Structure 1
Amino acid sequence: MENQGSGKTVRLATACTECQRRKQKCSREWPCNHCQSRRIAHLCKFTPKKVLKAKPASNERTHTPTNNADAVPDFQNAGGVASGEDFRMLGYLPDNLLKEGPDQYQSAVISPNPQGTIPSELEKAIRTLPPKPYTDMLVQHFLSEMNEQYYCLYPPTFLHDYAAWWSGKASGQSLAPEFTALLLQVCACATLYLDVEAMQRLESELGENSHDLAEQYHRTANQLSSTMSPGKGGLTQVQQLFINAVWYKTEALFIESWHALSAAIHEAQELGMHRSPAKAKVSEFEREMRRRIWCLLYTWDWQMSLLLSRPFIINSNYCSFELPNVRLETADAGTDMPSPVTHIALQSQLGLAISKIPGVMSGILSPNQAIAIQQEIERWFEMFPPAYRRTNPDTRWDHSHRYVPLQRHQLYAVSYMVMFMPLKQCLTIDADPSKPSLEKSLQPAAVDCATKVMDSARALLAHMLPASGKFHFAPFLIFDTAAFLCSAIIHDRARNLAHRDKALETIGIGLDALEQISQTTKAGATCYSVLARLTGRMPLSPEEKALLSSRTPEGSLEGPQTPPSVHAESATIVNVDAYDVNFTSSDILGGGMDMALPAGLDPSGTIDGLTGLDDILSMDMGEFSQIWDWDNLDLNNPGLYDT
């Protein structure tokens, strides 16, 4: 406190409210050191820093000019017709006058409406939830097994709200429908991911099939969600709509998941999450949660849109993006340990980078975009923290924090998947070898990139097994990559495909990986059966057949693995004067379930004696039928049958 002239200058404390209450020294940055270590970042709040002038003596005039930007002018006393509140609503006052959020974290589980008749949909939803011991088990399973993949829920506040929900239910309070729907969606997804022991316990004690229970929770949550007005459910409603999309994706209903994702994005836009959160009338903690959810929605949008060959839902040219605070879960500011949201922040940055390439936001990638996409991804790799870098990653947290190796594998798989997308056409084209062709020039890079997709997908699959048998991303990447390489071999009637031996080895590795999971997952059985028949149609020499069936020592999928460092191979520069293409291949490098299969598929069926490709092209891809199109392989050319 200082004396200045006739008045005293009073500086408000800059410590957060929790440190003031506990009389502790605060680090004065959000989240502060003490709140972070106690995992109560949602309670860490700083009051706006203001400078107040003591009231001058009564014999002094009170109209002394001031430069204080926080002073609110009295427009009515000045003869105006508008009040200060009127101008505040129009946005003409300084940003620091916007209302801050509540002093303490406010749970969203109790409805602000007075007690009365419970809506029928809410009453049904409350009855649908299993008794608390089973809900506890499902919630814990979701937070420990599924949430780390996306980190759509912040565990400390969700568990706080979860306890408040049960307390409110016991005391007869009005429960908020949005959190009730969120809780049902969590239970629905967790039920699909249960291990065999937990699934048997749930089924025996509740007397219902676990998959039927999951569908019941999910259906009831959607019925309750449909009664809510847009923009009224807050962040909780956006979270439950996103987990609705997760449920559809887990069930391999990719089209339905894309539409559910669209609903979550539109709800987020109703809350203004596509704009800068700096002016939002919320606490710093909610600002952080809004940043995280918006990055997550955008990441899902650009990846699913590319997989489905559809335009992006979010137009990044008209949105504001602020990266999440990756210190929220890390008590030691000096450590290099990544946050559970680091991989989402990185993937959103990649989406923003490639969305600026002309044509990418249409959802369809072509060879003309391959070089630009590869260059953006190379720049993106340089942003990785030590734990995720491609060469000699820092693995010290791999055993203590399971999400670190999982995120590392996800980042590798996503990056090589995106690199491979515009190169796929290069493997299936019948180009005239006497004429320069962009596609033909990119074939060496396409095969090299396919090898990296296969390696990263296998590492990710090994890390996910055995618990996450319904994780479709890795098996699909393995099948998709191997199928395009099979098409390349089938189209290679002149037997001059660049890196042909490497392509055959990669196909064999993919076939081996899918065979290992064919007895435990429906998706694996379908993909293995189709790929085995497709490989049987390739025109191979005896030496090449032996190469295809060879197995590498590290080919097992027995458990989590940390892949060896990725080292660039010697450069292979392809130069086609007609296209002015210089492409360096080294730049590209870097559960039990229902086993019913689609008709005609048998994972143990023979692959010999096929007389054509018609029987293969007519096969049903089962769970992947929504995102797989046989036409992409260009196997309908009658000339391909003449082998």
Structure 2
Amino acid sequence: MADSAQGCAVLPTPSPRSLQSLPQHTPSEPRKRGRQATACFQCHVRKQKCSEERPCLHCLRRGVPDLCVRREGVQVHDFKPKRRRKTKESPVTTSKLPPLLQASSNDASVPVQTRQQPEESPYSVESDVEESVTSPRVGQLWETRGAPSFFGNSYFGPQVAATMIDAPAPDIPTGANPSRRSSIARPFRDESGPFSQLWDLLGLLPRRKSTIDRLVDLFLTDINWKIDAVHPQTFRQSYVKFWKRKSGFDDVTTVDLRWLALLFIILAIAVMLDCPQRCSPELQRECEESSLRFYWAARRAVVIAPSFYGESTDLVRAGVLITRYLIHSRRLSESWLTVGFASRIAMAQGIHVDGVRWGLPRKSTETRRRLWCHLYSLDRMIALALGRPYSISDAQCLTEEPENVWVDDMTDQDALQAVSQSLDDPTPAVLSFYSYRLSKIIGSIQEQCFGNYSASYDKVVALDCELVAWRDSLPPYFWLQGPDLSLDATHSFLQWHRLYLHTNYHFARITLHRPYLLRSSITNRFERSREACLSSACADLKTRLEHRVVDSNENFVWSLGAHQLFNSGIVLGIMAVRDPYSSRTAAILEDLEAYCEKQNSDIWVNEFGLAETRVIELCIAKVKQKRKDLAASQQQSSVPASTSLESGQVEGASSQQLPNGNVNGQSAEYQPALLVAPDEQYGIPQADGDSVHFDSVWPAVWQDQSFSFPGAADLETWQEMINTIGTHT
């Protein structure tokens, strides 16, 4: 027909009266209507009222202004009955139509457009959809609702999810021949829709905005600047935008679930800060329950948000804060999962590649570098503490260290001209690159000493030299012994950064030398490992004993150090059990008892901290029992010391005295080969035929480089290990 060649055909439903007035009408005699079509093609297909602007409001909201075209030259056919027999198929086959028009080609109320020249047609929906999906090149940054995403080979998940969120469901084809119902967007309250999750999370926020304001201000004022968590100005801008939204149908889609995850974990931390340090058990329990509710809401939002919105730096920062929250709670197994998830979110945005390679502004580059350093340090330390693989591979990263400059509060132009300061004038960025350098060594320790193959002791000594070189490279205000505290008054963050670097160093050194703590050598070549474990464990325990809980915020910031990843008291307790008669053992027991007393009197200690205290108490009890048994056996023995030596002992051991004045060998349990005098060697080998020290299960397991401490709550395993080590002493 001539009308079909000109444009589109419309078959509206007639009224009964018009059907009676046209009994002899045929399709070859069309009747034109007097009304000219003014709606655009997109609004006409969706049966929406068009604003008659170009582009109209509906097309602007859907993000397709280029598809908003007036239906020019559309003519109308005469009426046909709604209930009619099947007619022959239109000359325009559905295989040549876009997927959206294929779904509507069988409906008489929807216009059908011919596709004789698809490259010139203004209604080419299929070509536009394909172009929007394939426009980002592989390995490039692509903006997902304001957040750049990195796409590696065959990775377009966030891009597809962002397309589904930015445009309603009718714009996304669901199949080769989708039904008309599938092209209608589901309401956001539908259980199968994405926004039902958002409504559930919004319901977990406090009803009073003033409560949230107070908690957010508390976090930004007391905690944020100490751990470099978020940029306050940027966070407050998103916070104001969040509360300015309307509560209607349309504005619920403007809530960014990625930023909401960051808000929830900030509230979880702030609730603990808001609770008084000395309070009733009921108030303390209420604060802990409220904090856990916000924490689980943040975990839920972090998992859901990438499926609908893509990744963003807000999700990475939320993952870092969630990991720190778990370290504070000593839930290390969960922290390993969260830091791995946050690492992959960061790599999905290309943070593992330096911003200079992306051509980003210097301000964005520096903030991304610091964020990557915090993530990298947490990943390395948690993996080493648990004996599990880490998430970040150095071979696949192209990162640079941050500079000693603070550009967060500058404009892009001012940040470009900013000059890096000397180490004599530190900025909060100093912690980032020093912890990054230490984490590099920690990664080498795990790869070379705790991998699938055992390492030689020479490799352990070489890695220890790297740790010592890192320690010697610290500026005076970060020295491990006698640090310069003159800058603490003007740079209040230095005392906390110093704590983190010191505890990270002691954690790494103890973990490196721990497999050689119980080994014996005729040449005493493992003395370096024993002295390293002893010095680092004593320094860490001293930090614990000197810490005084002043208020909640300082207690939280203090508990973010690496001393939460291991317990130096357990290491000292094992050394005391291994060598119960040394003069240093008495001093160790005194400090351990003081530490246990402090832990038991702390009302904020959780079940994990109490479990570690019970393990230390087991070590103390074992050492006291052995010393008591030795004293009892000496009183009952009437054999002179000169005749108490048995065959197989080391020649000359008879002249060696115990620290308390007793002669060696007067107890059947006591073996002089394991005697340790002050500042002397730890083990004297025995001759052939005497007892072998490491034939039991636990000392052999302890020597295994893949061995890690059992769970603190597994008291039966700790009891068995302590008894076995003590039996062979």
Q: TM-score normalized by structure 1?
A: 0.61
Shift in alpha-carbon separation, 1:113–1:464, aligned structure 2, 3 A:
farther
Deviation per residue, 1:464-498 (Å, 9 max, x gap): 766455665669569832322232232237x4xxx
Structure 1 match to 2:378: 300
Percent of aligned positions with the same letter in both sequences? 17
2-structure distance, mates of 1:363, 1:189:
38
Structure 1 match to 2:573: 486
**Residue 521 of structure 1, aligned match among 582, 601, 604:** 604
**Offset at 1:393?**
2.8
2-structure distance, mates of 1:291, 1:267:
15
Q: Answer whether contact 1:182 1:240 (CA < 8 A) is retained.
A: yes
Structure 1 match to 2:538: 451
Deviation per residue, 1:146-198 (Å, 9 max, x gap): 43453231223222322232233589842211111211121122223433179
Aligned counterparts, 1:253-264, within 5 A: 253-264=331-342
1-structure distance, mates of 2:589, 2:225:
31
1-structure distance, mates of 2:204, 2:278:
19
Structure 2 match to 1:178: 258
SS in 2 for 1:387: helix
Q: Answer whether contact 1:280 1:287 (CA < 8 A) is retained.
A: no
Structure 1 match to 2:160: none
Q: Does 1:635 align with 2:721?
A: yes
Q: Answer whether contact 1:169 1:175 (CA < 8 A) is retained.
A: no
1-structure distance, mates of 2:476, 2:723:
48
1-structure distance, mates of 2:245, 2:573:
59
**Offset at 1:291?**
1.2
**Residue 448 of structure 2, aligned match among 359, 371, 386:** 359
1-structure distance, mates of 2:382, 2:272:
21
2-structure distance, mates of 1:155, 1:203:
30
Shift in alpha-carbon separation, 1:340–1:352, aligned structure 2, 3 A:
same
Structure 2 match to 1:120: 196
Aligned counterparts, 1:407-418, within 5 A: 407-418=497-508
1-structure distance, mates of 2:407, 2:597:
39
Q: Answer whether contact 1:412 1:456 (CA < 8 A) is retained.
A: no
Shift in alpha-carbon separation, 1:502–1:453, aligned structure 2, 3 A:
farther
Structure 2 match to 1:349: 437
**Residue 287 of structure 2, aligned match among 210, 224, 235:** 210
Q: Answer whether contact 1:398 1:405 (CA < 8 A) is retained.
A: yes
Aligned counterparts, 1:597-612, within 5 A: none
Give the residue type in structure 2 aligned to 1:299: S
**Offset at 1:297?**
0.9
Structure 2 match to 1:327: 405
**Offset at 1:145?**
3.8
List alignment gaps of at least 5 residues for structure 2: 1-133, 149-162, 169-184, 189-194, 410-418, 632-658, 660-678, 686-697, 699-708
Q: Does 1:534 align with 2:624?
A: no
SS in 2 for 1:196: coil
**Residue 376 of structure 1, aligned match among 466, 486, 503:** 466
Q: Answer whether contact 1:288 1:325 (CA < 8 A) is retained.
A: yes
1-structure distance, mates of 2:724, 2:480:
43
Q: Answer whether contact 1:458 1:513 (CA < 8 A) is retained.
A: yes
2-structure distance, mates of 1:448, 1:482:
12
Q: Answer whether contact 1:273 1:290 (CA < 8 A) is retained.
A: yes
**Residue 390 of structure 1, aligned match among 446, 457, 480:** 480
Higher relative contact order (CA 8 A, sep 6+): 1
2-structure distance, mates of 1:133, 1:406:
30
Aligned counterparts, 1:96-245, within 5 A: 113=166, 118=188, 119-130=195-206, 131-148=208-225, 150-168=227-245, 173=251, 174-196=254-276, 209-229=286-306, 232-245=310-323
Give the residue type in structure 1 aligned to 2:353: R
Structure whose CA Rg is larger: 2
1-structure distance, mates of 2:565, 2:594:
10
What count of residue pairs does the alignment treat as equivalent?
465
Shift in alpha-carbon separation, 1:404–1:218, aligned structure 2, 3 A:
same
1-structure distance, mates of 2:299, 2:589:
42
Q: Answer whether contact 1:274 1:319 (CA < 8 A) is retained.
A: yes
RMSD over equivalenced CA pairs, Å: 4.7
Shift in alpha-carbon separation, 1:405–1:193, aligned structure 2, 3 A:
same
**Offset at 1:406?**
1.2
Structure 2 match to 1:286: 364
Structure 2 match to 1:511: 593
2-structure distance, mates of 1:634, 1:376:
36
SS in 2 for 1:394: coil
Shift in alpha-carbon separation, 1:213–1:468, aligned structure 2, 3 A:
same
Deviation per residue, 1:62-81 (Å, 9 max, x gap): xxxxxxxxxxxxxxxxxxxx
**Offset at 1:293?**
1.4
2-structure distance, mates of 1:196, 1:513:
23
SS in 1 for 2:347: helix
**Offset at 1:114?**
7.8
2-structure distance, mates of 1:255, 1:134:
32
2-structure distance, mates of 1:193, 1:541:
45
**Offset at 1:336?**
3.1
2-structure distance, mates of 1:114, 1:257:
36
Give the residue type in structure 1 aligned to 2:203: R
Give the residue type in structure 2 aligned to 1:191: V
2-structure distance, mates of 1:257, 1:624:
17
1-structure distance, mates of 2:455, 2:560:
22
**Offset at 1:425?**
3.1
Shift in alpha-carbon separation, 1:638–1:450, aligned structure 2, 3 A:
closer
Give the residue type in structure 2 aligned to 1:272: G
**Offset at 1:229?**
3.1
2-structure distance, mates of 1:364, 1:211:
43
2-structure distance, mates of 1:398, 1:441:
34
Shift in alpha-carbon separation, 1:337–1:501, aligned structure 2, 3 A:
farther
Shift in alpha-carbon separation, 1:122–1:237, aligned structure 2, 3 A:
same
1-structure distance, mates of 2:476, 2:724:
51
**Offset at 1:222?**
3.0
Structure 1 match to 2:583: 501
SS in 2 for 1:250: helix
Give the residue type in structure 2 aligned to 1:394: D
Shift in alpha-carbon separation, 1:125–1:629, aligned structure 2, 3 A:
same
Q: Answer whether contact 2:352 2:398 (CA < 8 A) is retained.
A: yes
SS in 1 for 2:622: coil
Shift in alpha-carbon separation, 1:634–1:150, aligned structure 2, 3 A:
farther
